[in-house]
Structures are given as C-alpha cells and as structure tokens.
Structure 1
Amino acid sequence: MSQALKIAVILSSTRPTRLADKPATWFLDFAKAQHPEIAFELVDLRDYDLPFFDEVASNAWAPSQSAEAVKWQKKVGEFDGYIFVTAEYNHSITGVLKNALDQAYVEWGKKPMGAVGYGGLGAGRAIEHLRAIAVELQMVPVRNAVHIGGGDFMAISPMGQNAEMSTIAPHIEGSAKALLDDIAWWGAATKAARG
C-alpha cells in the first residue's frame, strides 16, 4: 500500500450556474500548497451520469447493476479521504450529492471526510447533515470545515460582487488550513488502520 494519501475534492453541484468551481479551484490550490505530500484530485459529479439510486440494496449487500454506479464506486474507492465542496439547498446538501453518496457504501468506509460549504449561512446546516450521512456510511467526519457565508458569500457570488476568491481568502485560510490538517492526520491514521 502506497504511503502517500490521495484525497478527493468533490464538486457537489451539477447546475450550469453553480458557484462550486470558484471555491473548489481555490481550495484545491490552497490544499496543494499546504500539504504537497498529499495527492489532491478534483472530482466533479458532472462527470458521472448517475441514475437515481434504484438498486436492490446498497453495494454493501449486493453488487450494483448500474454501470455508472460501478464506475463511480471505483472512482470513490481510489481515495483515502474526501472533501466535499457543497452548497446548501433547503437546509441540506444538494440532491445530486445525496444520490452520489447513496450509490456507494463499501468505498466510503473508514476514511475521513470534511467540507467546504457556501451559502447564506456558510452551508452550516448542509455540512451538519452531510456529517450525519457520513457517519452512517462509516466515514470519519472531521471537526473543522470552511464556511463561506454572509458577506464573503455575496462578495464572490454572481448575485453579489462576483469577486475573485482572493478577496475573501484571508477570512477563510485559517479554517481551510485546520480542515486540511484534520484530513491529513485522520487520513494517515485510518489508512494505517485499514492496511
């Protein structure tokens, strides 16, 4: 087993007008600079044409029949941890993210997860919901998260000033560093335990 951690940064919205690309790209660059020993990869849910989950059971109990679901499971299985870049839709995560989470089970387990959230309240409610789902999938939710809310959200949003991420970077770099340190520690610990 390779010693280098491989962490997915998952874009959790597929809307044509999504904001996700802006914080995801910034976060990926920041992550690579903070932890060059970790291999970070951007994983876009747009690249997976997942059907609504309609398998006979989770892949913990029966092999998935959907070729797209199997493709997704293989991709998820490549990683030692996950950071979800998510909006907040009606106090929760995006529907497409919930579906993607449901399409795998075995692959998520015993690996850390964290989140970068954006929206009026920094996607705080969505991230808490995501953590609860992650526990059921046997992931290890980490304490720290990045919350882009309020004035920072309006600063980078097309509904506001549509500014670059550098405008708000000083406000979120501390939480981004804490999130990455959590993922690095828990990623190493869980990878050693799985090995």
Structure 2
Amino acid sequence: MTQIAIILGSTRPGRRVETVARWVAEAADRHPAIKAGEVSVELVDIADYGLPLLDEPAPAATGYYQNAHTKRWAARIDRFDGYVFVTPEYNSAVPAALKNAIDYLWSEWNHKAAGIVSYGLYGGTRAAEQLRQTMAEIKVADVHAQVAINPFIDFDFTESEAGACAPGERQEALLTTMLDEILEWSRALRVLRDPTASADPRFVPT
C-alpha cells in the first residue's frame, strides 16, 4: 500500500495549519484510490516531535543520528512513500520550524514525491516556491499541481474568530489532481527506494 503523510508545517500557538490539514485529510478521503484502500493517508504534526533547533553534530547525509528526538522523527518520516506539506507563509518563506524539521533528515526524504498546500495573504505561494527549492536538494520530486489557500476566501468565520478552512470545489479539484500526481511519482520512484520493487505495485514478478 502506498503511504502518504500530510505534514503540518507550523508549531506556532494559535496556528491555522491544523484546520487546513484537517480539510486536506477530509478531502483526501474522497480520492478514489484512498476510498479503494490502495493508499493510506496520515497526519504528521512536527509539533509532536519537540525538535529543537538542529542539534545533530553530524550532517544528516551521514545518517549518524545521535539524539532520541531525531531517531523518532526519522523513523516516522521513513515509513512514507510521499508527502503533502501544509505550510503557511511567514515573511515570504516557510516557517523556521518546518525548515528545521526537514534539515534534520536526508535519506528518509530521498526518492519520494511531495505536493504543497500553502496558505497566507497571497495563498502562501512564496513559501511554496521556497519549499520547492528545498525539495530539490533532498531529492524529493515536488509535483506541479499546488493548492494555495487564501484565508479571506477559503475560510469560514461564522463560528469562530480563527475560522475554519472551507475551500470550494475548485480547490478540492486541485487537491485531487495533486494527489494523483503524488501517487504517480511515488510509485514511479519506488524502484529507486527499493531496486527489487516494481514501479507499478500491481505488478507481481513471476
């Protein structure tokens, strides 16, 4: 089964990333491959891992992790075939906490696919572009389709001041396309992650 992580990319108190990620998960559950049980989707919140400012003495590319928090984070990320990064835009960039979490690891990210759901005043597009540069460096294939959430358009403020993420059909259609691309690429890259595997999980060698 193909496993996809929805990564919550902010740790700020009062963050909106939780409501955006919940919308992503709920919309993803309506994707045909997920409904058919061919793909699983899990929320992964970097706030749950208590990662301090990068404190590993050896570069991540060595794979020599000394700290328990790093090993725990590495084990979780390594399980997945692809990712959906949910990120706000802070000062035209991704949150420092997200960049820090990415920088902790290396091989666990390699040869996988990722999509980006960004949000902010301008849809978080500048943060998404910065994140694409980082994806290239850690050998992650970032897909073309992207969802850009604008709080003034895609949030419902009728029940609370913080609002709830409630995008329209167009945004869900974009998310479905993005998931299609993540699944295509994650399956194609399977042979790089495991040379004995087939790029098509439905193919069983005889």
Name 1:63's counterpart in structure 2.
64
1:15 aligns with 2:12: yes
SS in 1 for 2:60: coil
Q: Residue by residue, what CA displacement relative to the aligned partner does 1:116-168 show, whole Å, maximum 9, x if unpaired?
A: 11101111010111010011001111101110126325x3469x9755434x2
- Counterpart residue identity of residue 115, structure 2: G
Give the C-alpha shift of residue 171 in structure 1. 3.5
1:165 aligns with 2:165: yes
Asked if the contact 1:86/1:93 (under 8 Å) is kept, the reply is yes
Asked if the contact 1:11/1:45 (under 8 Å) is kept, the reply is yes
How big is the alpha-carbon RMSD for the aligned residues of Structure 1 and Structure 2? 1.9
SS in 1 for 2:30: helix
Structure 1's consecutive aligned runs of 4 or more residues displaced over 3 angstroms after TM superposition are 155-158, 160-166
Name 1:43's counterpart in structure 2.
44
Asked if the contact 2:119/2:151 (under 8 Å) is kept, the reply is no
Name 2:184's counterpart in structure 1.
185
Q: Residue by residue, what CA displacement relative to the aligned partner does 1:84-122 show, whole Å, maximum 9, x if unpaired?
A: 110001111011000000011110000001111110111
Name 2:27's counterpart in structure 1.
30
SS in 2 for 1:83: strand
Q: Which moved more, 1:170-179 or 1:95-104?
A: 170-179
Equivalent pairs counted in the alignment come to 189
Paired with 2:183 and 2:138, the residues of 1 have a C-alpha distance of 20
Gaps of 5+ in 1: none
Q: Normalising by structure 2, report the TM-score.
A: 0.85
Q: Determine which structure has the larger strand proportion and give its number.
A: 2
Paired with 1:97 and 1:8, the residues of 2 have a C-alpha distance of 14
Q: Normalising by structure 1, report the TM-score.
A: 0.90
Name 2:101's counterpart in structure 1.
100
Name 1:91's counterpart in structure 2.
92
Paired with 1:14 and 1:177, the residues of 2 have a C-alpha distance of 26
